[in-house]
Structure 1
Amino acid sequence: MDALLSAGLVLCLIFLFLGMGVWIFVGLLMVSGTALALVAGMDIGRIGTIAANIVYRYSTTWELAAIPMFIWMGEIIFRTDISDRIFRGLTPFVNWLPGRLLHTNVLGCTMFAAVSGSSAATAATVGKITTTELSKRGYDQSLSLGSLAGAGSFGLLIPPSIVMIVYGILAEVSISRLFAAGVLPGIMIAVLFSSYIAVRALIRPTVAPKSDMAFELRLFGRAIVDLLPIISLMVIVLGAIYSGVATPSEAAAVGVFGAVVITIFLRQFSIAMLIETLLGAVVSSAMICSILIAAAFLSTAMGYLHIPTEIATAIGSLHLSPVMLIVVLTLFYLVLGLFLDGVSIIVMSLPITLPLAMQAGIDPVWFGIFLIVTVELGQITPPVGFNLFILQSLTGQSVGRVAIYALPFFVLMLIAIALLVVFPDIALWLPSSLYD
């Protein structure tokens, strides 16, 4: 009971400090320090020592180096015309499918996510091209924006994923295994999205206007040339990781070098662009890493207060089956996704939910993929759905309307979670094949 009261106090402190509008990492530090002082009775000196040890440990974690590198690579790609090339390159291949160019949202986001690591960057980069082009050509707006909102979240799941790195560090799980585990679920969700688009187009052909594009081999040759830069970067980064030649952090550095070479080859490189991308990467990385360190302090504070073990024991006494536990956690994360971004959800909840999963015998790699898919759902649910805000800024549509357009893809991701529960090897087969 003491632990439950402590958990209630920590929850109230979180609402108090974050509700004051302070930065998330400052709020988490204030929650942790206050809880240790009030509940555990620690003095300021000991609290400071604990915080200093955590800052040093995480600041010297080699895996953390992957975050700024992958962000920098995404920033470089974001400032090139690769998104235009993806759209042009995919057009001849999808123009023969039911739904035609609507599939460029799904496939374009899938490809860009493989070099971005960010959901927001994926939705913004692909969306700035496809929203204009599809609207100009008369494609159904609800299906166009809905598919983009859903597929834009692939940046969280398809490696290299920043959120996946955060989970791997906090859960002490191999990031390479997590990257491998995200491949097949990402492809599965992309197939679900494209299948839905095709079915909708077959039922109501007017959602995708007829095309007069002739079948010419030269168009496919030109398309392959357009896709070559993004494919090359995917092969360099992911190939280095899965072959064992490089760790994720080393592969991220190679990816930055590859992105620079590509911009030089495309004649889009400049020193001003390099500095601009570096500054953007520094800002984003500082934000994520500071939240990560503050969350580690919160996790340590909760450990001193015995909150995770006591709550895990309390829920364990209910004797929930692993499936029922996943159902409860899915609802829990759906609620969190209404108010928090992906990194915040993971760092604030993991100290409680991971012990529950481990106690239920759930594989931590599988749990990471499940968690990231539920976080993806939060990207398209109001009031704090970042992909909805991005599409609002691109199109002028209200957040509520874009959320309605995204609802079918929200349901498809729930179906994907169910498939992961029934067939866990969708996430576990590839990492087992590569690393066992």
Structure 2
Amino acid sequence: MGSEAVLAATFLGVLFALLASGVWIGVALLAVGFVALFFFTPAPAGSLLATTVWDSSWNWALTALPLFIWMGEILFRTRLSEDMFRGLAPWLGWLPGRLLHVNILGCGVMAAVSGSSSVTCATIGRMSMPELKKRGYHEGMSIGTLAGSGTLGLLIPPSIMMIVYGITAQVSIGRLFIAGFIPGLMLIGLFMAYTAGWSVLNPGKIPASDIRMSFAEKLWSSRRLIPVVLLIVAVLGSIYGGVATPTEAAVMGVLGALALAAATRTLNWLTFKESLLGAVRTSCMIGLILAGAAFVTMAMGFTGLPTIMAAWVDRLGLDAYGLIVFLTILYIILGCFLDGVSMIVLTAPVVLPMIQAEHIDPLWFGVYVVLVVEMAQITPPVGFNLFVLQNLTGRDIWTVTKASMPFFALMILGIVLITVWPEIVMFLPRQMVNL
């Protein structure tokens, strides 16, 4: 085991040294793979680097990624959040917590058209936080509901993180999208139930409803939601109905987002250029990470390290539940230092053989991983949603983190629920075997 220990130490040492020095994660992964091949195997590192990067860059499933990112970037620059606030608010005045639920439901709707956690959090927060503050809502709960619900952008399809996992683990992206639907609704339900319960226990921290509308007036106000609902139905309905692939649905989503931006008169040359450049930057970053991950996966296959690690975990005597507990702790720790994409691509070469050995369905595991990565969005010091909220509220990072912790706990409860009852994830995919 001496050489294996040296290999693992070298792998981790080179990786963390490069990350600490500020090197891009994609470049760091390429370097780690090259070191592993060059020093620990007789394989031709240079030619394998070239062929692996090329092979990983023309995957057809990868074309959905920049399109969904662009759709989110376009919608980020529209009046979508304002329209959703005005459309949802009149219907929520009777619930304990009232307009706090706008954060949760608004993020759920935005997640279904953006696929990005940061876009969801920033778009809804940009409109809701000033409104909630003006009406006198409890600041901690305003921040917490937005922090927790903002992560729904990773789970509710179309999810950029699901595309990354699907490409990395060779799992159908369409089936992943379907599998994430019920768990996404489950999280919305958990968040709303907690918010309602907290409001009942703290009635003095929730202002009285200031919305007085007749039923007809509520319906008229909700007309603003119609374009968003139509866009969701077009994108997700085409995938669930088997009419379109995720890539084709992404094209429809971009066209719909452009039409929505034009209808709200927020589409001009400047916003079009900014959205396109934003999508290019994000897509290139993720594409480089995926290329680096593909090279590391191939390099680790040559070294045999994943098999060794899987055998080590097997010697621990963990059953499937024990492995999930072990991996959850591991991912929570990694989430304190790495972004979601990096977490998935770094751990996939080692973790996937482990779950296969325990006969865990890779489709179920994909939803589980995305749910754990959601938690990483609100774990300090690098939880990206925490920084988004810090900029929106002007509060320090620890105040934002403290407000987010109850929703972090609810996500752990969500992991427990899908682990004990895996049908929460697997029911819909089993009904749609054509994807």
Same-fold call, TM cutoff 0.5: yes
What CA distance in whole angstroms lies between the structure 1 residues aligned with 2:218 and 2:276? 35
Partner letter of residue 34 of structure 2? Answer: G
Measured against aligned partners, the alpha-carbon deviations of 1:385-431 in whole angstroms (never above 9, x if no partner) come to 11110110111111111111111111111011000111000000011
Given that residues 139 and 209 in structure 1 are in contact (C-alpha distance below 8 angstroms), is that contact kept between their aligned partners in structure 2?
yes
Aligned twin of 2:34: 33
Given that residues 338 and 378 in structure 1 are in contact (C-alpha distance below 8 angstroms), is that contact kept between their aligned partners in structure 2?
yes
What CA distance in whole angstroms lies between the structure 2 residues aligned with 1:17 and 1:91? 48
Aligned twin of 2:60: 62
Paired residues for 1:1-16 under 5 Å: 1=1, 2-16=3-17
Does structure 1 residue 396 correspond to structure 2 residue 394?
yes
What CA distance in whole angstroms lies between the structure 2 residues aligned with 1:180 and 1:3? 40
Paired residues for 1:377-396 under 5 Å: 377-396=375-394
What CA distance in whole angstroms lies between the structure 1 residues aligned with 2:71 and 2:127? 20
Out of 38, 45, 48, the residue aligned to residue 46 of structure 2 is: 48
Aligned twin of 1:285: 283
Measured against aligned partners, the alpha-carbon deviations of 1:80-99 in whole angstroms (never above 9, x if no partner) come to 00110011111011111010
Measured against aligned partners, the alpha-carbon deviations of 1:27-85 in whole angstroms (never above 9, x if no partner) come to 1111111121111144xxx2121112112212221100001000110111010001100
Out of 77, 80, 92, the residue aligned to residue 79 of structure 1 is: 77
1:264 is displaced (CA, Å) by 2.0
1:214 is displaced (CA, Å) by 2.0
Partner letter of residue 210 of structure 2? Answer: D
Aligned twin of 1:89: 87
What CA distance in whole angstroms lies between the structure 2 residues aligned with 1:249 and 1:296? 21
Aligned twin of 2:361: 363
Out of 262, 278, 287, the residue aligned to residue 260 of structure 2 is: 262
1:212 is displaced (CA, Å) by 3.2
Given that residues 181 and 428 in structure 1 are in contact (C-alpha distance below 8 angstroms), is that contact kept between their aligned partners in structure 2?
yes
For the residue of structure 1 that corresponds to 2:32, the secondary structure is: helix
Partner letter of residue 19 of structure 1? Answer: A
What CA distance in whole angstroms lies between the structure 2 residues aligned with 1:184 and 1:359? 27
Paired residues for 1:143-222 under 5 Å: 143-222=141-220
What CA distance in whole angstroms lies between the structure 1 residues aligned with 2:9 and 2:42? 17
For the residue of structure 2 that corresponds to 1:151, the secondary structure is: helix
What CA distance in whole angstroms lies between the structure 2 residues aligned with 1:414 and 1:300? 32
Out of 123, 126, 130, the residue aligned to residue 125 of structure 1 is: 123
Given that residues 82 and 229 in structure 1 are in contact (C-alpha distance below 8 angstroms), is that contact kept between their aligned partners in structure 2?
no
Measured against aligned partners, the alpha-carbon deviations of 1:275-306 in whole angstroms (never above 9, x if no partner) come to 22111111110011111111111111111110
Structure 2 stretches lacking a partner, 5+ long: none
Q: What is the root-mean-square deviation in Å for CA atoms of aligned residues? A: 1.1
Given that residues 102 and 208 in structure 1 are in contact (C-alpha distance below 8 angstroms), is that contact kept between their aligned partners in structure 2?
no
What CA distance in whole angstroms lies between the structure 2 residues aligned with 1:78 and 1:212? 28
Aligned twin of 2:294: 296
Greater shift in the superposed pair: 266-275 or 171-180:
266-275
Given that residues 86 and 222 in structure 2 are in contact (C-alpha distance below 8 angstroms), is that contact kept between their aligned partners in structure 1?
no
Aligned twin of 1:225: 223
Given that residues 187 and 414 in structure 2 are in contact (C-alpha distance below 8 angstroms), is that contact kept between their aligned partners in structure 1?
yes
Paired residues for 1:210-359 under 5 Å: 210-359=208-357
For the residue of structure 2 that corresponds to 1:100, the secondary structure is: coil
What CA distance in whole angstroms lies between the structure 2 residues aligned with 1:213 and 1:348? 49
Measured against aligned partners, the alpha-carbon deviations of 1:102-151 in whole angstroms (never above 9, x if no partner) come to 00111010000001111111111101111111011000011110111111
Partner letter of residue 29 of structure 1? Answer: L
What CA distance in whole angstroms lies between the structure 1 residues aligned with 2:227 and 2:5? 53
Aligned length: 433
Paired residues for 1:98-137 under 5 Å: 98-137=96-135
What CA distance in whole angstroms lies between the structure 1 residues aligned with 2:386 and 2:266? 30
What CA distance in whole angstroms lies between the structure 1 residues aligned with 2:338 and 2:38? 26
Given that residues 4 and 311 in structure 1 are in contact (C-alpha distance below 8 angstroms), is that contact kept between their aligned partners in structure 2?
no
Given that residues 3 and 311 in structure 1 are in contact (C-alpha distance below 8 angstroms), is that contact kept between their aligned partners in structure 2?
no
Given that residues 366 and 424 in structure 1 are in contact (C-alpha distance below 8 angstroms), is that contact kept between their aligned partners in structure 2?
yes
Partner letter of residue 33 of structure 1? Answer: F
Structure 1 stretches lacking a partner, 5+ long: none
What CA distance in whole angstroms lies between the structure 1 residues aligned with 2:398 and 2:271? 36
With the length of structure 2 as denominator, give the TM-score of the two structures.
Answer: 0.98
Greater shift in the superposed pair: 239-248 or 217-226:
217-226
What CA distance in whole angstroms lies between the structure 2 residues aligned with 1:135 and 1:284? 32
